[in-house]
Amino acid sequence: MSFTKNLFNLNGKTALVTGASYGLGQSFAQTLAEAGADVVITARNKERLKETEDIIKKAGRKVLSIAADVSKPDDVARMIEETVSVFQKLDIAVNNAGIVSPPVRFHEMRLEDWQNVISVNLTGLFFCMQKEIELMMKQESGGSIINNSSVLGLVGAFADMKPRVNYIASKHGVNGLTKQGAVEYAEYGIRVNAIAPAWHSGTSLSKTRSDIQTTKEQNEREERLVARTPMRRRGRIEELQGLLLFLASDASSYVTGQIIASDGGWTAH
């Protein structure tokens, strides 16, 4: 039992979670704190981080809240600088920040919506990885970078699922950055992996969809989604916590460059 506890123990570690004000980001920050890590949490609006901050403090860990827009390189640089100033290091980076736009067909996608989603989901993650890697290369202990991808970074989606080509392209790009980062920086003890969730309830993207789709559209999409999932249900947000902890801890010390789906069997057929 002590071996198992040590394997997943994050005591003495410093973790960073972007997009931590709600949903997956908040759940990831809580998971890391409860495993023993001190946590830096970021979002565009610092006030929205208060609930996550309280959760981490309740777990008995130190927390630093930073307002940062990952699509802005100066914000990302400052985010890393503030992390180092307070904690002197970064052991775990969870690049979770992401957005969606209203669903339209591929040929109807507006350039503005394309660029907005790519700037956050892909270019923003690129900025984050650059600075995280630069810092981790200086550390003898290396580090673990965990990117939040999507099952839609592994496959396409039928038109009746109301896909967004900008989101799908961004997540395929995330997987490419993950694999290249893993190959280039393994010699420095830096591991880079990605989680690819399918349809999990309680995420910020689920909330965004509810804001831009009618109840009828949501219900119809839900029926199609469940029917095409072998497990015949959505995932629960807490069902990603174990996967995150595995990738953040020494339990995955020989795992890098992997895109691990949590999808109820979606990509198995």
Q: What positions carry a catalytic annotation? A: 167
Number of H helices, E strands in the chain: 10, 9
Instruction: Report helix, strand or coil for 105.
Output: coil
Q: Distance (Å, rounded) from C-alpha 31 to C-alpha 60?
A: 12
Residue owning tokens 């109820």: 264
User: Nearest-CA neighbor of 92 among 197, 191, 20, 175?
Assistant: 191
The DSSP symbol for 202 reads T
Tell me the β-bridge partners of 74: none
Q: How many residues does the chain have?
A: 269
Q: Distance (Å, rounded) from C-alpha 55 to C-alpha 269?
A: 39
Task: Say what angle helices 124-137 and 73-87 make with each other, to 10 degrees.
Answer: 30
- Token pair of 240 as six digits: 């990603």
Find the Cα–Cα–Cα–Cα dihedral 87, 91, 95, 96, rounded to 10°.
-80
